Amino acid sequence: MPHLPEHLLAGYRNFMSGRYPAESGRYRSLAREGQAPETMIVACCDSRSAPEAIFDAGPGELFVLRNVGNLVPPYAPDGEFHSTSAALEFAVQSLKVKNIVVMGHGRCGGIRAALDPNSAPLSPGDFIGKWMSLIAPAAETVSSSTFMTATERQTALERISIRYSIANLRTFPCVSILEGKGRLSLHGAWFDISTGELWVMNKETGDFERPELA
C-alpha cells in the first residue's frame, strides 16, 4: 500500500495518463541532456502563487526557488546554512540563467507576519519571525504610516520586499558581475491571487505596472 495521500496519487495518475505522455519526449531529452532553464524565479512558498502555473511553464523551463516571502538575503559568506544563496549560486554559476525574477504576491502571510509580529502564523521556534526580520526596517517604516490602510500597507511591503530582494541579489558578486556584462537581467513581479493579475516592476522607476498582453 503506497504511503501517499490519495489526492496526490490521483493527481499523479492524471499526470501519467495526460501530461506525461504529451510531454514524454521533452522529459526524455531533459533526462538525457540535463536542464538548461534560462530563467530563475524566486517566489513565495504560498500554495496560491505557483510560478509554473502562472507562467504556463513546462518541464525544464523554470528554475524555481521558493521560500517564505520570496526573500533573497544579503550575500554573507559566513559558513552558515544558506539554502537560498546556494540555489542562487547554482542557477547563476552552473546553469548560467539569463534572467532572475523575484515574484511576490498579494495576501502574503509572511509579509503580514513582518508587519505584525504578534500575528499568526509564527511557529513556536519563530523561524518565520527571524526570516522575515530581513525586511524589519521596511516593515517598521510602512507600519508607522497612519495614512495607509492595512491593505495598502500589506501591498506596499509586498512590493518593497521585491525591490529589497533585487537589491540583495546585486550584493552577490556573481550576480553583479554578470549583470554588468549584460548576461543576466533582474526583474520584479507581483501576482494578485484574487484576480490573476501580474504586475511587473518598471526597472527605471521601481513601480509596478500591468504588462501589455496583446
Whether the bond between 173 and the residue before it is cis, its omega within 30 degrees of 0, is: no
User: For residues 156 and 174, which CB has a smaller minimum distance to Zn ion in the complex?
Assistant: 156
Q: Is 44 annotated in some ligand binding site? A: yes
Distance CA 196, CA 199 (A): 10
- Minimal distance, residue 91 CB to Zn ion, in Å: 20
**Total residues contacting Zn ion (rule CB under 5 A)?**
4
CB of 110 to Zn ion, least distance (A): 5
Give 210's contacts (C-beta < 8 A, 6+ positions apart): 197, 198, 199, 200
Of the two residues 47 and 205, which places its CB atom closer to Zn ion in the complex?
47
Minimum CB–partner distance for residue 106 and Zn ion (Å):
9
**Which string of x and - marks every residue 5-44 that binds Zn ion (by CB under 5 A)?**
---------------------------------------x
C-alpha cell at 196: 490573476
- Residue with Cβ nearer Zn ion (108 or 142): 108
Closer residue to Zn ion, CB minimum distance, 27 or 55: 55
Exposure on the CB side of residue 86, measured as CA atoms within 13 A: 7
Exactly one of 88, 102, 108, 189 binds Zn ion (CB under 5 A); which one? 108
187 annotated ligand-binding residue: no
- 8, three cell numbers: 496526490
> Scanning residues 37 to 66, which ones bind Zn ion (CB under 5 A)?
44, 46
Give the span between the Cα atoms of 137 and 120, in whole angstroms: 20
Q: Does 113 bind Zn ion (CB under 5 A)?
A: no
- Residue 211: CB minimum distance to Zn ion, A: 21
Query: Is residue 103 near Zn ion by the rule CB under 5 A?
Result: no
Judge whether 3 is annotated as a binding position: no
Confirm whether residue 108 is marked as ligand binding. yes
The footprint of Zn ion (CB under 5 A) covers: 44, 46, 108, 110
Binding residues for Zn(2+): 44, 46, 105, 108
